[in-house]
């Protein structure tokens, strides 16, 4: 038995914020704005996992109105989502995610992101796919106003 889910997230780029993607702090002139650390990649991944099990989204589990999650480390939240999925009897089959950012170049950081996510989820790096692309200077990502991320998760029954 397996189930598939999709996740999508966007955060605005802002001065005076850190840029954290896949748990990697990336040197850049601006960072992502959000209640938590605004790790848009990890947010999309968590939504894809929860979506696969029809459990809703991360806003339901970690509301941004809750002071507890102010500045939260999204990798810790990912660990909680993995726990929730295990309780439902599911584990990750594989995840495929795409980060859409005009800048900076993300390729040098992709392997570290995959390793971070796999470590928290207790799976192999080969089960976690991360890709980075631009939108050819078009739209809000192209104009460097924000960064978006898509993710698809295949969750398999934990027999
Ligand atoms: Zn988010």
pLDDT tens, 134-153? 999 999 999 999 999 999 99
Kindly give the distance from the C-alpha atom of residue 143 to the centroid of ligand 1, in angstroms, as a whole number: 19
Kindly give the distance from the C-alpha atom of residue 10 to the centroid of ligand 1, in angstroms, as a whole number: 6
In this prediction, residue 29 has a pLDDT band, given cuts at 50, 70 and 90, of: very high
pLDDT recorded at residue 145: 98
Q: Residues 107-113: contacts with CB within 8 Å, 24+ apart?
A: 107/132, 109/21, 109/22, 109/24, 109/26, 110/22, 112/22, 112/23, 112/24, 113/21, 113/22, 113/23, 113/24, 113/41
pTM of the model: 0.98
In this prediction, residue 159 has a pLDDT band, given cuts at 50, 70 and 90, of: confident
In this prediction, residue 91 has a pLDDT band, given cuts at 50, 70 and 90, of: very high
Kindly give the distance from the C-alpha atom of residue 91 to the centroid of ligand 1, in angstroms, as a whole number: 22
Match 């990336």 to its residue by tokens: 26
Mean pLDDT computed over every residue of the chain: 97
- Ligand 1 is an ion; its neighbours by CB within 5 Å are 9, 43
- Token readout for 84 is 């929730």
Kindly give the distance from the C-alpha atom of residue 44 to the centroid of ligand 1, in angstroms, as a whole number: 7
Kindly give the distance from the C-alpha atom of residue 40 to the centroid of ligand 1, in angstroms, as a whole number: 5
């Amino acid at each position: 038995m397996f189930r598939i889910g999709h996740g999508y997230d966007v955060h605005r780029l802002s001065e005076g914020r850190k840029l954290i993607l896949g748990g990697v702090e990336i040197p850049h002139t601006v960072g992502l704005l959000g209640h938590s650390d605004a790790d848009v990649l990890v947010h999309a991944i968590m939504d894809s996992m929860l979506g696969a099990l029809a459990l809703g989204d991360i806003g339901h589990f970690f509301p941004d109105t809750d002071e507890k999650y102010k500045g939260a480390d999204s990798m810790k939240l990912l660990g909680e989502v993995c726990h929730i999925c295990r309780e439902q009897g599911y584990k990750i089959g594989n995840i495929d995610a795409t980060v859409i950012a005009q800048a900076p170049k993300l390729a040098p950081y992709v392997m570290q992101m995959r390793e971070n996510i796999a470590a928290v989820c207790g799976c192999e790096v080969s089960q976690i796919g991360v890709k980075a692309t631009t939108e050819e200077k078009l739209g809000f990502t192209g104009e460097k106003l924000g960064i978006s991320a898509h993710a698809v998760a295949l969750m398999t029954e934990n027999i």
